Structure 1
């Protein structure tokens, strides 16, 4: 199955080309990545950024906000209705650890909401594509598979996406509010949101810092798959009146805490 949407198909091609450039650097025999010498990481980041920006400019004249070119004034950004939101290489720890769980992220934002997103994990050779209102898919080895978020059923173990490293007291509080057994599902980068989108997990609470480019593309995939992405209050993590997570609404590009739920 091929995507029927030509724009999204082209964005997927751009993400894969950027992923190829990242993998060329990732495969080099770099014995140790030191924090003081992140040159291979920087090289991969910039190579992907340049490919994505050039590719998107060939598709449209929409502005582009990328982690690698984020110094755009708020005066300019607040005029934007539609724009591309890009993270050329999300998951720096995963890249350095060489566990493969890093991604290329390209989202189309319309009036503060992600309407289309492509997440490509080049080391895993897997893509996630979401077009809000039309559907979401995963793609591996050329095979497109529709994906859908899976609601928790009574008696099921709650599958909760979390960090490999540690669980904060706030996360423990959220887990305690869930009725039944819980199982932690560890994953890196924006793939965390995609796990909820494809029904591999029920919840992903994020109680740590993220920037808008970290989440935009996978947020679109989650929405297209039927999941919700809402602002999370640590004092009331499962509040039913939580507001949707939005983009480019203020000068800061930092996200509030949020919850991805099916």
Structure 2
């Protein structure tokens, strides 16, 4: 399965780069979030690949959900897809946007792929192993290496959202005495934790499940965790929530080894 997810993410990323270099067309959804022709093109590629390879596994994909297409996932294994995570980074000509594909079983992300096409980096996870590969300019995947979270030292390094930082995040960093932090876009924050390049990622602004699932799968396989403010693992497949929309996440903190 993981090889198919990797190939699909790379194909989607290749299409995204074509639009990135030629200039995207940007429109805004009812919630005022931006969407581009790259988001839509990449999602079509991924949905076609998943339907061909795994016709019995439902897919929850960001743009399809926005259009009102939500499959029945009750009690089922399913995919979560964000065809272009970090659309604001993409529009702003930053390189830290990604393609995210995750497999969810019993509410947990058990496999995932995060591909950063402009950086030529591919992260993947399944079977409790987290992996990193370099993808060449000709979209050939070089040999992968196993990655893992680092043990915490005396000085913690935090990651924060470039486009969605918040006063609560600043307060959290101050409360925990963290002065060293970097602003990064998209699901790459999970991957940098998984790679042992940082220690904690507090998120006190809104995310959706497709934003986090693939990166969270990689982080968990690398020995890290993502916890809600109640200290419980972040779950996936959340429907009919009393306080928020379907698939919306609560605030959370992702971290490497304790």
TM range (shorter): 0.7 to 0.9
Asked if structure 2 preserves the Cα contact closer than 8 Å seen for 1:127 and 1:138, the reply is yes
Could you tell me the TM-score, scaled by structure 2's length?
0.85
Find the partner of 1:247 among 229, 236, 245. Answer: 236
Asked if structure 2 preserves the Cα contact closer than 8 Å seen for 1:132 and 1:223, the reply is no
Asked if structure 2 preserves the Cα contact closer than 8 Å seen for 1:41 and 1:95, the reply is no
Asked if structure 1 preserves the Cα contact closer than 8 Å seen for 2:59 and 2:80, the reply is yes
Cα distance between partner residues in 2 of 1:52 and 1:166: 26
Residue in structure 2 matched with residue 196 of structure 1 by the alignment: 193
Which consecutive unaligned segments of at least 5 residues does structure 2 have? 136-141, 241-245
Residue in structure 2 matched with residue 239 of structure 1 by the alignment: none
SS in 1 for 2:96: coil
Cα distance between partner residues in 1 of 2:98 and 2:70: 27
SS in 1 for 2:185: coil
Find the partner of 1:175 among 173, 176, 188. Answer: 173
Residue in structure 2 matched with residue 186 of structure 1 by the alignment: 183
SS in 1 for 2:101: strand
- Residue 73 of structure 1 deviates from its aligned partner by 5.2
- Number of residue-to-residue matches in the alignment: 239
- Higher Cα radius of gyration: 1
* Backbone CA RMSD of aligned residues: 2.3
CA 29–63 in structure 1, closer or farther in 2 if over 3 Å, else same:
closer
- Residue 12 of structure 1 deviates from its aligned partner by 0.1
Q: What stretches of structure 1 move > 6 A for 4+ residues in a row?
A: 33-38
Cα distance between partner residues in 2 of 1:261 and 1:158: 10
Could you tell me the TM-score, scaled by structure 1's length?
0.84
CA 132–170 in structure 1, closer or farther in 2 if over 3 Å, else same:
farther
CA 108–165 in structure 1, closer or farther in 2 if over 3 Å, else same:
closer
Find the partner of 2:226 among 226, 229, 241. Answer: 229
Residue in structure 2 matched with residue 112 of structure 1 by the alignment: 107
Task: Tell whether 2:196 aligns with 1:207.
Answer: no
- Residue 36 of structure 1 deviates from its aligned partner by 6.7
